[in-house]
Each structure stands twice: as C-alpha cells, then as structure tokens.
Amino acid sequence: MTKDTSAARIVVNAPGDYTTMQVEHFDPPTPGPGELLVRVAAAGVNFIDMYRRAGVYKVPYPHVLGSEGSGTVLAVGEETSGFTAGDQISWDAAPGSYATHAIVPASNAVLVPAGVDLTTAAAVRLQGLTAHYLATSSFRISPGDIALIHAGAGGVGLLLTQIAVALGARVITTVSTQDKAELSLAAGASRAILYSEMEDITTQLPPQVRAAARELRSHTEHHVGDGRGDGVDVVYDGVGKTTFDASLASLRIRGTLVLFGGSSGQVPPFDLQQLNAHGSLTVTRPTLAHFVLTRRELESRMNDLHTWIAQGTLTVSVGATYPLEQAGEAHHAVEGRKTMGKVLLIPSTAS
C-alpha cells in the first residue's frame, strides 16, 4: 500500500503535564500477523492516558498516547481472520490510538454494526464495557435494587445509570454541579445529590443517601420489610479515596461496594472489621480485563451495548470533541473536571 506521510500522532517524550504533548508525523506501518491497520475516526480520551503521560503509570518514552477508538480497516495482516479492508471497528486496547492511523490487534477489535456510527462506537467502547460488567457481573442488578453511583455525570456514570435503570434499579447519583445533576437525572437517575455543597462528605452524604433510598423504596414492594434496614443495595464508586468511607456508610445490611477506580486517589488500607460493623458488607475491586477474558465474552458485552444503542435504550453522551492536534487542551479540560460525558479526539482524516 502507498504510505501516507500526512499521517500524524500525539507523542510525549518524557513524563509531564498536558503541555508536553506534541504532534509527530509518521508513515503508517504495515500490519503484522494478527493486526489491522486502521484509519482512526475517533479516539477516546481516558484518565489512563493522563496517568501514562504524567508518568504515574510507567511506559517507555517517547510514548504515543491513546488506546481506545474506532475507525475503518485499511489493511489486514497475515494470519488474521474475521476482518477485511473497509470494515468499521472499535477497540479499547491499541497503544498509539491518538493518531490518524493505528495498528489494532484483531483480538481486541469488534465490528461496528450499521446502526451505530463511529463516533458513538468510540465513545461507548471502554466506558460502555465498564458499565456493562459493573451492572451485570460485579454486582448483578435485579429489579427493585437501589444503587448509588458516584460521578453520575461522568462517562461511565451516565452509561451505568441507564443500564441499571433498564435492568430495573432505581439510581441515586452524586455530582458536583447543578448542570451535572440535570444531566444525570436526564439519564434516568431518580435523585442527584450535590456533594460540592458538603463540608464533610463522609458524615453528610450517607444520611442523604439513606433518606433518598428510604423514600424510593417506599414506592415499591421489592426489598421492603426484609430486615436489612435503610441504605442502598450497591454503591458503584470510581472516585476512591474521598468517597470510600461515605460509600460504606451508605449501604444497607449485606450491601455491596464495587470500587472500580480512584480518580481522587487510591483507598488506603483499612480494617476489614469495618465490613462487619457496617452490616456484613461486601467490597470488590474489579478491573475490566478480568471481565473480557475470552473473545466470546467481549463480543457478548459489545453486542448488548450495540443493541441497546440501536433500540434507543442507551444514549451515549459525547461531552466534547477536539481535533487531534488539540489533544493537550482535551487533557487539560478533563483534568480540570470541565467536561461532562465522553471526550473524543477527531483526526482530520475523519472529517
């Protein structure tokens, strides 16, 4: 194939802040066995990209950022089956996805059906898979459950709220602004609590959550009078350090805390006896890789997401898009918590 010297990617040569990100031109490589060369339509911006850029997660430098995206297959490597040139795909584990062209492992690629556009496909891939396994595997939502979801207006929060509601749960979220509260409520949350108005989340949040859960439970026959008291059945916590104690205190007896991230910092070691004291609680710390162990599992979860999107059950919120060349500005906005929903980079070749 003819090399395209106009191809570009975003690289960092050493750990640093968002200003260290640079545009670099390159010749797209030839895909090897089990690989696909893809023209990138949209690349997802995720916190892990920032951790790698800043050196929190160790990577070799120079480092081409990004791992998630969608696009069109340009060439298929040898010994690679299931894909042909022209296929539209999405992925979440292809290093170097902040680019106009990327090499994608065929094992991680999933075909995007005709009813889903490539921008939506990129926006839902990583966060959608995360929301899916949280609601169906880490804690399997059942009709009548009441869930607390922190950062309810974030990319995962908005998707998880919709999936939990579709599975029969009532959802309470925490958000930082009134605009985010309105976005969360529009996604299906029954209550959105502003934590930014609290001086001490640990002591002030649980009573509000318990009151909201009690009121919501009064409207359903599910789990009423089962002896487990007030509180929520499950907390989905991707914030970590600043919310962990409040999350535990918001659960009812035999409730489950799903700690799936640490955007505020990692939770320090704690006494397991707290789980007994709070009511025989369960805490789990999952990660996506352990919930897409096989090709079949990956495709099954993606098929659900694509079907829900096509049916209108799941709406994917793209909070902002930036040209590839403005990747630094995108990082700055996300790190400053100035965005809602998914943030994407759009290479010029996608326009």
pLDDT tens-digit series, residues 201-229: 999 999 999 999 999 998 876 666 788 99
Which single residue is written with the structure tokens 């955007």?
A: 263
d(CA 30, CA 349): 18
Domain ranges in the chain with CATH number 3.40.50.720 = 143-285
pLDDT at position 348: 83
pLDDT at position 2: 46
Spatial contact of 95 and 61, defined as CB atoms under 8 Å apart: no
pLDDT at position 13: 97
pLDDT at position 303: 97
CA angle 300, 138, 238 (to 5 degrees): 110
CATH number attached to the domain at 143-285? 3.40.50.720
pLDDT at position 222: 65
Show the tokens assigned to 117. Answer: 């556009």
CATH number attached to the domain at 8-125+294-350? 3.90.180.10
% of the chain exceeding 90 in pLDDT: 87
Show the tokens assigned to 109. Answer: 């690629």
d(CA 53, CA 204): 35
Spatial contact of 67 and 122, defined as CB atoms under 8 Å apart: no
Adjacent-strand bridge partners of 171: 147
DSSP string computed for 148-177? EESSTTSHHHHHHHHHHHHTT-EEEEEESS
Which single residue is written with the structure tokens 């998630």?
A: 68
**What three-state secondary structure class fits 180?**
helix
d(CA 304, CA 309): 9
| Nearest Cα to Cα of residue 161 among 135, 195, 140, 137 | 135
pLDDT at position 349: 61
Beta strands in 62-190 (DSSP E): 63-64, 69-76, 88-91, 101-105, 110-111, 146-149, 170-175
Q: Please say if the pLDDT value at position 3 is more than 50.
A: no
d(CA 169, CA 279): 21
- Average pLDDT (33-56) is 95
Spatial contact of 342 and 318, defined as CB atoms under 8 Å apart: yes
Domain ranges in the chain with CATH number 3.90.180.10 = 8-125+294-350
d(CA 141, CA 246): 21
Instruction: Give residue-wise pLDDT tens across range 266-308.
Output: 899 999 999 999 999 999 999 999 999 999 999 999 999 999 9
Q: Please say if the pLDDT value at position 243 is more than 50.
A: yes
Q: Please say if the pLDDT value at position 5 is more than 60.
A: no
Instruction: Give residue-wise pLDDT tens across range 165-190.
Output: 999 999 999 999 999 999 999 999 99
